[in-house]
A and B are shown apart, each in its own frame.
Chain A
């Protein structure tokens, strides 16, 4: 298949970026989106041009590195990560626009690559449990109700890719925050720090410059791990409880 690619090129964080147009012939439907970009980069390299920088790592859909806005949708038209998106999801002769995540909290480093350290700082603010190191405790020593454990596991699939922020018209990271709050708040190990965690993480979220949630729901549609919108409700509930308890 033949494709026309409109790709955001930006030499450095301070440089002025612009959309560049590239034609690519002979793209296989079996290629992943990233493999297609690899082919384009080989072509650019052969022509003596600077290859396009984009984030990628595991290419298995579990690391959350491949943050591409493909034709106006985070990770493209399928519910998956960009690396697990295949070219059969596109039509022969299609024009595809590829942009980096647009969020002032995720500054563009180069071309399609953005700095998502803001998420790391939110996690550092409270997205953990404090436990003594040593040998792993016996798993059954702390019982967890099955329903709560399942919910925690389901939302723990969040890979922190930032698609929720990219898709949100407000540029809010509430789905990410909600996933972490729900994940740790449902389990017994997360209880001692539950209330201080939520206020600290929300404060860091706001300090990073993410927008406020207006419950539109674009985040959950873009999420490759299908984190449901009710985690934001859980986040709000925990935040309310924390304020009540003086945190």
Chain B
């Protein structure tokens, strides 16, 4: 769970960095998308790097979800009679949203891939498959639709919560938080990564809304 989670942290950081290129304009953004496909050439085939990343991420997702299901089922079996009154006094809000928030993210990932990778549906003109090979246009037209932006921003809230507890939790699971100081640092890292990643992703639709990106 912790190891696959760390891989995802690395992925979302890289993905967010790429998205922010939207602020540099259409050409830079589209070039970046093209360069991702050429990455590692000629040693790797065209899109080779992308496919390695996809296979790796998919494997990590299977591991992550399997662990989550095992943990949830164990927790269910460990307390079959519930408390009449139970107060949680110490735990963070985010730590209680790992399961529902994780399920939300899984749904979003499926939607997001249909939206931008498999379907490439341009809602503004009904085109699919991005015939002009213009991912920038696809993105801007997408975020011009209020409900697509809303879905995206809700998912970013879920992502922020998931990263806030997940970062600390993975450090703890890997046994890296053996002192009070290391524990404080891991919690701070969780907060910073949550704000930077979810905030960075959200800047793009907000930029479209504000007319900075068009």
Query: B84 to A6, Cβ gap below 8 A?
Result: yes
In the complex, whether B95 has a CB less than 8 A from a CB of chain A is: yes
Q: Report which of A171, A212, A228 forms a contact with B70, defined as CB distance below 8 A.
A: A212
Q: Does B80 contact A (CB under 8 A)?
A: yes
Query: What chain B residues lie within 8 Å of A6 (beta carbons)?
Result: 84
Contacts A99-B84, A230-B180; A104 near B79 (Cβ below 8 A):
yes
A169 to B78, CA, bound (A): 9
Interface size range on A against B? 35 or more
**B125 on interface, CB distance cutoff 8 Å:** no
B66-98: which have CB < 8 Å to A? 70-71, 74-75, 77-92, 95-96, 98
Q: Does A97 contact B (CB under 8 A)?
A: yes
User: What is the CB-to-nearest-CB distance from A212 to chain B, in angstroms, rounded to a whole number?
Assistant: 5
Contact in complex: A170, B85 (CB < 8 Å): no
Q: Which of A22-30, A65-73, A85-93 contacts B (4 or more CB under 8 A)?
A: A65-73
Instruction: Kindly state the separation between the CA atoms of A228 and B169 in the bound complex, as whole angstroms.
Output: 15
Q: Quick check: is A51 within 8 A (CB to CB) of the other chain? A: no
Q: What is the 8 Å Cβ interface bit string for chain B, positions 164-200, against chain A (1 contact, 0 not)? A: 0100110111111111101100000000000000000
Contact of A72 among B80, B87, B98, B182 (CB under 8 A): B87
Closest to A166 in B: B83
Knowing A72-B83, A221-B89 are in contact, say whether A211-B175 is a contact too (CB < 8 A).
no
Max chain B Cβ within 10 angstroms of own Cβ: one of A69, A104, A212, A237:
A212
Residues of B within 8 A of A216 (CB): 88, 91-92, 95-96
- What distance in Å separates the Cβ of A206 from its nearest Cβ neighbour in chain B? 8
A102-B83, A104-B80, A209-B78 given as contacts; is B88 within 8 A of A218 (CB)? yes
A233 interface neighbour in B84, B91, B172, Cβ under 8 Å: B172
CB pair A104–B91 under 8 Å, yes or no, is no
Nearest-CB distance from A159 to chain B (Å)? Answer: 20
Q: Which residues of A contact B84 (CB under 8 A)?
A: 6, 8, 19, 97, 99
Given A233-B178, A236-B173, decide whether A171 and B89 contact each other with a Cβ distance below 8 A. Answer: no
Q: A230-B180, A236-B172 are in contact. Are A211 and B75 (CB under 8 A)?
A: yes
- Interchain nearest-CB distance for A197 vs B (Å): 16
The residues of B that contact A169 with a CB separation of less than 8 Å are 75, 88, 91, 96
Closest A residue to B168 using CB positions: A215
Residue of B nearest to A236 (CB): B175
Which single residue of chain A is at the shortest CB-CB distance from B89?
A221
CB neighbours of A190 from chain B (8 A): none
Report A-chain residues with C-beta under 8 Å of the C-beta of B172: 215, 229, 232-233, 236
Apart from A233-B172, A240-B174: 11 A-B pairs, beta carbons within 8 A: A72-B85, A72-B86, A104-B79, A170-B74, A171-B75, A216-B96, A217-B92, A218-B89, A222-B90, A230-B182, A230-B183
User: CB within 8 Å of A: which residues of B?
Assistant: 70-71, 74-75, 77-92, 95-96, 98, 165, 168-169, 171-180, 182-183
